[in-house]
Chains A and B, each alone.
Chain A
Amino acid sequence: MAAGSCAVTGGITALANLAAPDAILQEIYVCSISTVNPAGVLPREKFAAPEGELSLPGFQPRVRALDEVVPVDYYLPGCPPAPAGIGAVIRSLLTGPLPEPGATVGAADSTVCRDCLRVRREKKIARFYRLHEIIPDEENCLLEQGLICLGPVTRSGCGASCLKANMPCRGCYGPPPGIVDQGAKFISTLGSLLDADSPADIVRLVEEIPDLSGTLFRFSLAKSLLKGVGPACRG
């Protein structure tokens, strides 16, 4: 079972696919402000200690989802999966009937928007806000208020818990059935929501969103179509 979004879609840790492996090693072991390593020593897979050889696993070229490495029977998404979903999965494993192999468990087949009680109108987004730039009202759709909310492209299972705390959906349950690439689908959704009359308007609006790739693929980069940057992601 792929339990949790790191296993299902790469999760937060797949944001490492936005950097090259060598750059990660250099930053952590050589360049970071709290590191003192004048000789630039990096971890090695084999180290001949005086008493005997020590070994470490090699650094992988990119973060992969679990089913890219071993066969997976069931997928339990969420970061973290909601307790009710975990409980339902454990009960079904104990008492049966078992779900079909390949099933997503502990979550629903609809989107977070289906569980969200906010009022939705026709969306026309005139500008985007970062979280600290706005106190959103608690009645209306956050996307309409200019916050990036991934509810339309995220599988439900959480009970829209972030929305109930007046925070936008961050997409942690990954894409719902039928959507391969969560971030690309959101880009496509945005296309119909922007209050823009010209291509220049669209560019101006989208440029207001800081860190588009890290925001739209925050939990799903490993299973996105592009998978990240670098040769290992394209291969």
Chain B
Amino acid sequence: MPRITIDPVTRLEGHGQVEIFLDDEGNVANAYLQVPELRGFEKFVAGRPVEELPRIVTRLCGICPGAHHICSAKGADAVFQVQPPPPAVKLRELFYCAHFLHSHIAHLYLLAAPDLIMGEAGPADRNFPGLVERMGR
């Protein structure tokens, strides 16, 4: 059965590959998403001091470290059974707004825009340096 392989999937941080199988008419018969990456965070965070985790799980992803940081901080709050004071909550929200900007800018320019703007180019050029070349500095 003819297949189309998309590997790597460049619109996400981390790794993915897609296998698309085609039927006799050339239509999609089935598709598989595979994640060929495993680092073991779920296992190796066990045994670390819980107050360290907000700064360990940020390394899960370079596009969304802020989300992991806040999620883990809330988890640490729950472990200690504490409510952060209002200034801390506001600081976290401010931080998360900054993260939101960073995350979307990074995703747009580094991951999505090369596909959207240079879809016809080959993989060697369909990337951030290629985008700079096309759009000018």
A residues near B (Cβ < 8 Å) are 6, 11-13, 15-16, 18-19, 23-25, 27-28, 32, 43, 49-52, 54, 56-57, 59, 63, 79-80, 130-132, 170, 210-211, 214-215, 218
Tell me the dominant secondary structure on chain B's binding face: mixed
Contact partner, B44, options A19, A25, A79, A131, Cβ 8 Å: A19
Contact partner, A13, options B29, B32, B34, B39, Cβ 8 Å: B39
- Most A CB contacts (10 A, CB to CB) among B1, B38, B48 go to B38
Query: Chain B residues near A27 (CB, 8 Å)?
Result: 40, 42-43, 46
B47 within 8 A of A: yes
Query: Chain B residues near A28 (CB, 8 Å)?
Result: 38, 40, 42-43
B34 touches A52 (CB 8 A): no
Q: B48-69: contact bitstring with A at CB < 8 Å (1 yes, 0 no)?
A: 1101100110010010000000
Contact partner, B36, options A11, A51, A56, A215, Cβ 8 Å: A56
* Closest Cβ–Cβ distance, residue B130 to chain A (whole Å): 17
Pull 21 A–B residue pairs with CB atoms less than 8 Å apart, ordered by A: A12-B56, A13-B39, A15-B48, A16-B39, A19-B44, A24-B43, A25-B38, A32-B42, A43-B38, A49-B30, A49-B32, A51-B1, A51-B3, A52-B1, A56-B36, A79-B59, A130-B49, A130-B51, A131-B52, A132-B80, A211-B48
Contact partner, B51, options A11, A25, A131, Cβ 8 Å: A131
Query: Chain A residues near B52 (CB, 8 Å)?
Result: 131, 211, 214-215
Q: B1-21: contact bitstring with A at CB < 8 Å (1 yes, 0 no)?
A: 101000000000000000101
Q: Closest A-chain residue to B58, C-beta based? A: A12
B47 touches A214 (CB 8 A): yes
Query: Chain A residues near B62 (CB, 8 Å)?
Result: 80
Q: Closest A-chain residue to B42, C-beta based? A: A28
* Closest Cβ–Cβ distance, residue A22 to chain B (whole Å): 10
A24 touches B19 (CB 8 A): no
Q: A16-B43, A52-B1 are in contact. Are A211 and B49 (CB under 8 A)?
A: yes
Q: A49-B32, A51-B30 are in contact. Are A16 and B44 (CB under 8 A)?
A: yes
Query: Chain B residues near A218 (CB, 8 Å)?
Result: 56
A51 touches B56 (CB 8 A): no
